[in-house]
Amino acid sequence: MVKKTKPESTSSVRYDSKAFHVELGKRIRKLRKESGLTIRDLIVDHGFHTTQLTRIEKGEGISVPMLLRVAQAFQVPIETLVAGLGRIEVSVESRSKTSKD
């Protein structure tokens, strides 16, 4: 008896780090503006440096400790900052070989 199976479609989650940083920078800038804060406010009230904030908002990267500081400054869960960023869904077809029983 020969059994044939159909290809199964599964999804594989991948991330684009550059897209992640750019989208995160935009999200942080939007959150800052919605909160009515300026970069100067974050410097004075939370001890950030101008270069740190401008680089983050431009999407040039952020360290985990800095991400935690940003979440704390805005009083939001870290998940709120990173949810869905840089995610690429790729459809992968796995093909089963014809098997003989």
Domains and CATH numbers, the chain: 18-87 (1.10.260.40)
pTM comes to 0.75
The structure tokens listed for 15 are: 């991330």
65-82 mean pLDDT: 96
Percent of the chain whose pLDDT exceeds 70: 79
Q: What is the pLDDT of residues 24-53, one digit of tens each?
A: 999 999 999 999 999 999 999 999 999 999
> 3-state class of 38 per DSSP?
coil
DSSP readout, 29-91? Answer: HHHHHHTT--HHHHHHHH---HHHHHHHHTTS---HHHHHHHHHHHT--HHHHHTTTTEEEEE
Give residue 8's pLDDT.
58
